[in-house]
Amino acid sequence: MIITLSGLPGSGKTTIAKLLAERFHMKWYSMGDMRGKMAQDRGLTIDELNALGTKEDFTDKEVDQYQKKLGETEDQFVIDSWMGWYFIPHSLKVFLTVDPDIAAQRIYEERRNDVQKDEPPYQSPEHAKQILAHRVQNSRERYLKYYGVDYQTPSNYDLIIDTTHLSPEEILSHIKNHMIK
């Protein structure tokens, strides 16, 4: 089984992907981490890489070809990726949504103690919310430009979960229940 997790920033994609991989003894891949490393290797933040991506398609194409190949060569893994559903269409496609204020608070709190080199320091939850909204808009525009799809379209997914008021265990339970069907 392949599970692709997409969703809004701060919805819990990485947390849930790691937990699913542990629970089901599967590999876990993060395309966000891969893009973050790509940004760092070039001395950029993720947002600077995204801005470059509006003009240069390599910023997406390298990562997208990698996940497409994973879907063609492996059959037991979890991947968190905004476009995993598209490049691995035979996967269980899950989208995690969240209230933007809650997402910004989660990310602000998480990054306050653990600054990532590919992300800017967030001054406040409101500052995080502004940066995240811009990041989502930039990504939507790039995916529409390069692939003609909007990753936030509900019909792309088998399961949509609002994580705003759910614990990781409750989210896992929703996914597990859907897998049993």
Report the predicted TM-score, pTM, of the whole model to 2 decimal places: 0.88
Query: Per-residue pLDDT for 66 more than 80?
Result: yes
pLDDT for 116 beyond 90: no
What is the chain's length?
A: 181
Candidate from 54-68, 91-105, 119-133 with smallest mean pLDDT: 119-133
CA 146 to chain centre: 18
**pLDDT tens per residue, range 155-172:** 999 999 999 999 999 999
Buried b / exposed e over 78-117, threshold 16 CB at 10 Å, is: bbbbbbbbbbbeebbbbbbbbebebbbbbbbebeeeeeee
Residue-level pLDDT at 143: 92
Sheet holding 92-97, edge to edge: 27-30, 77-80, 2-7, 92-97, 159-162
**Mean pLDDT (whole number) for 41-49:** 86
Q: Give the Å distances, CA to CA, from 80 to 99, 112, 121, 166.
A: 19, 23, 23, 19
Average confidence (pLDDT) over 48-58: 86
Q: What pLDDT, on the 0 to 100 scale, is given for residue 108? A: 84
Q: What is the mean pLDDT of residues 31-59?
A: 86
Residue 95, pLDDT > 80, answer yes
Is pLDDT of 40 > 80? Answer: yes
Per-residue pLDDT band for 117 (boundaries 50, 70, 90) equals low
- Please check the confidence at residue 107 and state whether its pLDDT lies above 90: no
Within 13 Å of residue 22, how many CA atoms lie on the same side as its CB?
8
Residue 162 contacts by C-beta under 8 Å, 6 or more apart in sequence? Answer: 97, 98
pLDDT for residue 112: 67
Q: Are 59 and 10 in contact (CB under 8 A)?
A: no
pLDDT tens, position by position, 120-157 = 677 788 988 998 898 899 889 989 999 999 999 999 99
User: Domains of the chain, with CATH numbers?
Assistant: 2-180 (3.40.50.300)
d(CA 100, CA 87): 26
pLDDT at 115: 53
pLDDT in the model for residue 33:
87
